[in-house]
Structure 1
Amino acid sequence: MDIFFVGTYNCKADAKGRVMLPVTLKNQITPILNDGFVIKRSMYAPCLELYPMYEWNTVMQELNAKSRYEKDNIDFIRKFTAGLKQVEIDTTGRLLIPKNLTTLVGITKDVVLASIGKNIEIWDKDRYEQEINVAPEEVASLAKKVMGGKDKTDGVS
Protein backbone atom coordinates (compact mmCIF):
# COMPACT_ATOMS: atom_id res chain seq x y z
CA MET A 1 0.00 0.00 0.00
CA ASP A 2 1.51 3.31 -1.06
CA ILE A 3 0.51 6.29 1.00
CA PHE A 4 1.73 9.77 0.15
CA PHE A 5 1.39 12.03 3.16
CA VAL A 6 0.02 15.52 2.69
CA GLY A 7 0.46 18.58 4.88
CA THR A 8 2.67 20.49 7.26
CA TYR A 9 1.61 20.59 10.90
CA ASN A 10 2.66 22.64 13.90
CA CYS A 11 2.64 20.56 17.08
CA LYS A 12 3.93 20.58 20.63
CA ALA A 13 6.25 18.05 22.24
CA ASP A 14 5.78 17.37 25.93
CA ALA A 15 8.65 16.91 28.41
CA LYS A 16 8.86 13.19 27.54
CA GLY A 17 9.13 13.87 23.79
CA ARG A 18 5.57 12.84 22.95
CA VAL A 19 3.93 14.62 20.03
CA MET A 20 0.17 14.48 19.52
CA LEU A 21 -0.54 14.00 15.83
CA PRO A 22 -3.12 16.37 14.34
CA VAL A 23 -6.37 14.66 13.36
CA THR A 24 -5.75 15.18 9.63
CA LEU A 25 -2.38 13.44 9.81
CA LYS A 26 -3.68 10.73 12.13
CA ASN A 27 -6.41 9.96 9.57
CA GLN A 28 -3.76 9.55 6.87
CA ILE A 29 -1.75 7.20 9.09
CA THR A 30 -4.70 5.11 10.37
CA PRO A 31 -4.56 2.45 7.58
CA ILE A 32 -0.94 1.62 8.49
CA LEU A 33 -0.99 2.41 12.21
CA ASN A 34 -0.60 -1.19 13.38
CA ASP A 35 2.42 -1.84 11.16
CA GLY A 36 4.68 0.50 13.12
CA PHE A 37 7.21 3.09 12.07
CA VAL A 38 10.93 3.74 11.96
CA ILE A 39 12.44 7.06 13.00
CA LYS A 40 15.94 8.17 12.13
CA ARG A 41 18.05 11.26 11.81
CA SER A 42 18.21 12.86 8.40
CA MET A 43 21.51 12.80 6.57
CA TYR A 44 20.76 16.07 4.81
CA ALA A 45 19.17 18.38 7.37
CA PRO A 46 18.88 18.88 11.14
CA CYS A 47 15.64 16.93 11.39
CA LEU A 48 14.28 13.43 11.88
CA GLU A 49 12.57 11.22 9.34
CA LEU A 50 9.55 9.04 10.15
CA TYR A 51 9.01 6.10 7.82
CA PRO A 52 6.01 3.77 7.79
CA MET A 53 7.36 0.24 8.24
CA TYR A 54 6.37 -0.84 4.72
CA GLU A 55 8.31 2.10 3.25
CA TRP A 56 11.32 1.43 5.50
CA ASN A 57 11.32 -2.20 4.34
CA THR A 58 11.43 -0.99 0.73
CA VAL A 59 14.41 1.26 1.53
CA MET A 60 16.20 -1.59 3.29
CA GLN A 61 15.58 -3.98 0.37
CA GLU A 62 17.26 -1.45 -1.91
CA LEU A 63 20.19 -1.03 0.49
CA ASN A 64 20.56 -4.78 1.04
CA ALA A 65 20.83 -5.30 -2.72
CA LYS A 66 24.14 -3.40 -2.63
CA SER A 67 27.31 -5.44 -2.54
CA ARG A 68 28.61 -6.01 0.98
CA TYR A 69 32.11 -6.28 -0.49
CA GLU A 70 32.23 -2.57 -1.35
CA LYS A 71 33.46 -0.47 1.55
CA ASP A 72 31.54 2.62 0.36
CA ASN A 73 28.29 0.65 0.44
CA ILE A 74 28.84 -0.51 4.02
CA ASP A 75 29.98 2.96 5.12
CA PHE A 76 26.86 4.53 3.63
CA ILE A 77 24.47 1.96 5.13
CA ARG A 78 26.08 2.42 8.55
CA LYS A 79 25.75 6.20 8.40
CA PHE A 80 22.24 6.06 6.92
CA THR A 81 20.91 3.78 9.65
CA ALA A 82 22.81 5.31 12.61
CA GLY A 83 20.50 6.04 15.55
CA LEU A 84 17.52 4.36 13.92
CA LYS A 85 14.65 3.34 16.23
CA GLN A 86 11.41 1.48 15.76
CA VAL A 87 8.49 3.51 17.15
CA GLU A 88 4.73 3.25 17.46
CA ILE A 89 1.94 5.74 17.53
CA ASP A 90 -0.27 5.01 20.52
CA THR A 91 -4.06 4.69 20.48
CA THR A 92 -4.49 8.36 21.39
CA GLY A 93 -2.39 9.45 18.39
CA ARG A 94 0.84 10.27 20.21
CA LEU A 95 4.28 9.62 18.80
CA LEU A 96 7.06 9.19 21.36
CA ILE A 97 10.29 10.56 19.91
CA PRO A 98 13.32 8.98 21.61
CA LYS A 99 15.15 11.49 23.80
CA ASN A 100 18.53 10.97 22.13
CA LEU A 101 17.01 11.87 18.76
CA THR A 102 15.21 15.00 20.01
CA THR A 103 18.49 16.17 21.51
CA LEU A 104 20.42 15.37 18.34
CA VAL A 105 18.29 17.66 16.16
CA GLY A 106 17.42 20.29 18.77
CA ILE A 107 13.72 19.58 19.16
CA THR A 108 12.42 21.24 22.30
CA LYS A 109 8.75 22.13 22.46
CA ASP A 110 7.53 23.52 19.14
CA VAL A 111 7.63 20.85 16.44
CA VAL A 112 6.80 20.78 12.74
CA LEU A 113 5.69 17.57 11.06
CA ALA A 114 6.29 18.05 7.34
CA SER A 115 5.18 15.48 4.82
CA ILE A 116 7.63 14.77 2.02
CA GLY A 117 5.82 12.09 0.08
CA LYS A 118 6.12 8.63 1.58
CA ASN A 119 7.63 9.78 4.86
CA ILE A 120 7.42 12.66 7.32
CA GLU A 121 10.15 14.99 8.51
CA ILE A 122 10.12 16.05 12.16
CA TRP A 123 11.69 19.44 12.84
CA ASP A 124 12.24 21.91 15.61
CA LYS A 125 9.96 24.75 14.47
CA ASP A 126 12.66 27.44 14.39
CA ARG A 127 15.01 25.25 12.37
CA TYR A 128 12.23 24.36 9.93
CA GLU A 129 11.40 28.02 9.39
CA GLN A 130 15.08 28.77 8.70
CA GLU A 131 15.24 25.89 6.23
CA ILE A 132 12.20 26.89 4.16
CA ASN A 133 12.50 30.68 4.32
CA VAL A 134 14.87 31.27 1.43
CA ALA A 135 14.89 33.78 -1.40
CA PRO A 136 12.48 33.01 -4.25
CA GLU A 137 15.44 33.00 -6.65
CA GLU A 138 17.02 30.15 -4.66
CA VAL A 139 13.79 28.13 -4.82
CA ALA A 140 13.48 28.81 -8.56
CA SER A 141 17.07 27.72 -9.15
CA LEU A 142 16.57 24.55 -7.14
CA ALA A 143 13.29 23.79 -8.97
CA LYS A 144 15.03 24.18 -12.32
CA LYS A 145 17.91 21.99 -11.20
CA VAL A 146 15.67 19.22 -9.84
CA MET A 147 12.61 19.41 -12.08
CA GLY A 148 13.70 21.27 -15.21
CA GLY A 149 16.13 18.79 -16.71
CA LYS A 150 15.92 16.92 -19.99
CA ASP A 151 14.72 13.67 -18.41
CA LYS A 152 11.03 14.36 -18.91
CA THR A 153 9.31 11.26 -20.20
CA ASP A 154 5.71 11.91 -19.25
CA GLY A 155 5.06 15.02 -21.31
CA VAL A 156 4.55 17.21 -18.23
CA SER A 157 6.29 20.60 -18.32
Structure 2
Amino acid sequence: MLLGTYAPKLDDKGRLILPAKFREELSRGVVLTRGQERCLYVFPEEEFARQVERIREAPLTSKSGRDFLRLFLSGASDEIPDKQSRVTIPPALREYAGLNRELTVIGAGTRAEIWDHGAWETYYSEKEQGFSDTEEEVIPGLF
Protein backbone atom coordinates (compact mmCIF):
# COMPACT_ATOMS: atom_id res chain seq x y z
CA MET A 1 0.00 0.00 0.00
CA LEU A 2 1.32 3.44 -0.92
CA LEU A 3 1.17 5.84 2.03
CA GLY A 4 2.70 9.11 3.17
CA THR A 5 3.77 12.49 1.82
CA TYR A 6 7.15 13.18 0.23
CA ALA A 7 8.84 16.24 -1.29
CA PRO A 8 11.14 15.15 -4.14
CA LYS A 9 12.43 17.43 -6.86
CA LEU A 10 12.05 17.11 -10.61
CA ASP A 11 15.43 17.08 -12.34
CA ASP A 12 16.32 18.96 -15.53
CA LYS A 13 15.43 15.93 -17.66
CA GLY A 14 11.91 15.63 -16.21
CA ARG A 15 12.78 12.70 -13.95
CA LEU A 16 11.51 12.01 -10.47
CA ILE A 17 13.22 9.78 -7.92
CA LEU A 18 10.53 7.57 -6.43
CA PRO A 19 10.18 7.79 -2.65
CA ALA A 20 12.11 4.96 -0.97
CA LYS A 21 8.96 3.51 0.60
CA PHE A 22 7.34 3.17 -2.85
CA ARG A 23 10.24 1.61 -4.70
CA GLU A 24 9.58 -2.06 -4.09
CA GLU A 25 5.91 -1.82 -5.05
CA LEU A 26 6.68 0.24 -8.18
CA SER A 27 9.93 -1.46 -9.25
CA ARG A 28 8.37 -3.71 -11.92
CA GLY A 29 6.88 -0.78 -13.78
CA VAL A 30 4.44 2.07 -13.41
CA VAL A 31 1.83 3.82 -15.46
CA LEU A 32 1.61 7.59 -15.16
CA THR A 33 -1.59 9.27 -16.28
CA ARG A 34 -3.73 12.34 -15.79
CA GLY A 35 -5.32 12.47 -12.39
CA GLN A 36 -8.19 14.51 -11.18
CA GLU A 37 -7.59 17.98 -9.70
CA ARG A 38 -4.61 18.39 -12.07
CA CYS A 39 -2.31 15.92 -10.37
CA LEU A 40 -0.76 12.82 -11.93
CA TYR A 41 -1.70 9.31 -10.90
CA VAL A 42 1.07 6.73 -10.60
CA PHE A 43 -0.14 3.14 -10.67
CA PRO A 44 1.76 -0.11 -10.42
CA GLU A 45 1.17 -1.75 -13.82
CA GLU A 46 -1.11 -4.46 -12.40
CA GLU A 47 -3.29 -1.94 -10.56
CA PHE A 48 -3.56 0.22 -13.68
CA ALA A 49 -4.85 -2.82 -15.62
CA ARG A 50 -7.45 -3.45 -12.88
CA GLN A 51 -8.60 0.16 -13.03
CA VAL A 52 -8.94 0.08 -16.82
CA GLU A 53 -11.04 -3.09 -16.63
CA ARG A 54 -13.34 -1.46 -14.06
CA ILE A 55 -13.78 1.60 -16.27
CA ARG A 56 -14.44 -0.59 -19.31
CA GLU A 57 -17.35 -2.20 -17.47
CA ALA A 58 -19.34 0.98 -18.11
CA PRO A 59 -21.66 0.50 -21.08
CA LEU A 60 -20.38 1.80 -24.40
CA THR A 61 -23.47 4.00 -24.48
CA SER A 62 -22.31 5.85 -21.33
CA LYS A 63 -20.94 9.19 -22.52
CA SER A 64 -19.29 9.95 -19.18
CA GLY A 65 -17.65 6.49 -19.20
CA ARG A 66 -16.31 7.03 -22.73
CA ASP A 67 -15.07 10.52 -21.85
CA PHE A 68 -13.31 9.35 -18.70
CA LEU A 69 -11.67 6.38 -20.44
CA ARG A 70 -10.43 8.57 -23.29
CA LEU A 71 -8.84 11.14 -21.00
CA PHE A 72 -7.47 8.51 -18.63
CA LEU A 73 -5.82 6.40 -21.34
CA SER A 74 -4.78 9.08 -23.83
CA GLY A 75 -2.44 10.60 -21.27
CA ALA A 76 -1.05 7.32 -19.96
CA SER A 77 2.64 6.52 -20.17
CA ASP A 78 4.20 3.27 -19.01
CA GLU A 79 7.63 3.61 -17.43
CA ILE A 80 10.21 1.31 -15.87
CA PRO A 81 12.17 2.90 -13.01
CA ASP A 82 15.90 3.04 -13.77
CA LYS A 83 18.63 1.76 -11.42
CA GLN A 84 18.41 4.98 -9.38
CA SER A 85 14.60 4.49 -9.02
CA ARG A 86 13.88 7.42 -11.34
CA VAL A 87 10.95 7.66 -13.74
CA THR A 88 10.64 10.16 -16.54
CA ILE A 89 7.48 12.23 -16.56
CA PRO A 90 6.56 12.99 -20.18
CA PRO A 91 6.35 16.70 -21.09
CA ALA A 92 2.60 16.58 -21.79
CA LEU A 93 1.91 15.18 -18.30
CA ARG A 94 4.26 17.72 -16.68
CA GLU A 95 2.35 20.46 -18.47
CA TYR A 96 -1.06 19.02 -17.53
CA ALA A 97 -0.17 18.98 -13.82
CA GLY A 98 1.74 22.28 -13.96
CA LEU A 99 4.81 20.62 -12.49
CA ASN A 100 7.76 22.75 -11.53
CA ARG A 101 10.93 21.58 -9.81
CA GLU A 102 9.35 21.34 -6.33
CA LEU A 103 6.93 18.41 -6.09
CA THR A 104 4.77 16.69 -3.53
CA VAL A 105 4.21 12.96 -3.93
CA ILE A 106 1.52 11.36 -1.81
CA GLY A 107 0.54 7.78 -1.29
CA ALA A 108 -3.15 7.24 -1.99
CA GLY A 109 -3.44 3.53 -1.25
CA THR A 110 -3.38 1.72 -4.59
CA ARG A 111 -1.72 4.63 -6.38
CA ALA A 112 0.62 7.52 -5.76
CA GLU A 113 -0.14 11.06 -6.84
CA ILE A 114 2.34 13.64 -8.09
CA TRP A 115 1.46 17.26 -7.44
CA ASP A 116 3.19 20.54 -8.06
CA HIS A 117 4.18 21.53 -4.51
CA GLY A 118 2.25 24.83 -4.58
CA ALA A 119 -0.86 23.16 -6.01
CA TRP A 120 -0.75 20.50 -3.26
CA GLU A 121 -0.39 23.15 -0.54
CA THR A 122 -3.41 25.02 -1.93
CA TYR A 123 -5.48 21.83 -2.25
CA TYR A 124 -4.54 20.67 1.25
CA SER A 125 -5.37 24.00 2.88
CA GLU A 126 -8.74 24.14 1.09
CA LYS A 127 -9.73 20.56 1.97
CA GLU A 128 -8.34 20.04 5.48
CA GLN A 129 -11.26 21.62 7.34
CA GLY A 130 -13.76 19.53 5.37
CA PHE A 131 -11.72 16.43 6.23
CA SER A 132 -11.84 17.39 9.91
CA ASP A 133 -15.60 17.93 9.72
CA THR A 134 -16.38 14.67 7.89
CA GLU A 135 -19.26 12.81 9.47
CA GLU A 136 -20.33 9.22 9.00
CA GLU A 137 -23.31 10.29 6.89
CA VAL A 138 -20.96 11.78 4.28
CA ILE A 139 -18.99 8.56 3.79
CA PRO A 140 -21.26 5.72 4.97
CA GLY A 141 -19.52 3.06 7.01
CA LEU A 142 -16.31 5.07 7.37
CA PHE A 143 -16.21 4.94 11.18
Q: Give the gaps of 5 or more residues in structure 1.
A: none
Q: Cα RMSD (Å) of the superposition?
A: 2.0
SS of the aligned residue for 1:134 comes to: helix
Matching residue of 2:3: 6
**% identical equivalent positions:** 25
Taking structure 1 as reference, are residues 90 and 81 closer, same or farther at Cα in structure 2, changes over 3 Å only?
Answer: same
Amino acid at match of 2:27: L
Q: Is the 8 A contact 2:27 2:81 kept in 1?
A: yes
Structure 2, unaligned runs of 5 or more: none
Instruction: Provide the residue aligned with 2:19 in structure 1.
Output: 22
Greater Rg over alpha carbons, structure:
1
1:38 alignment counterpart = 31
User: Is 1:90 aligned with 2:82?
Assistant: yes
Q: Which amino acid aligns with 1:37?
A: V
Whole-angstrom CA distance in 2 between matches of 1:135 and 1:100: 27
51, 59, 65: which one aligns with 1:59: 51
- Please, what TM-score do these two structures have when normalized by structure 2? 0.87
With normalisation by structure 1, the TM-score equals 0.80
Aligned residues between the structures: 142
SS in 1 for 2:50: helix
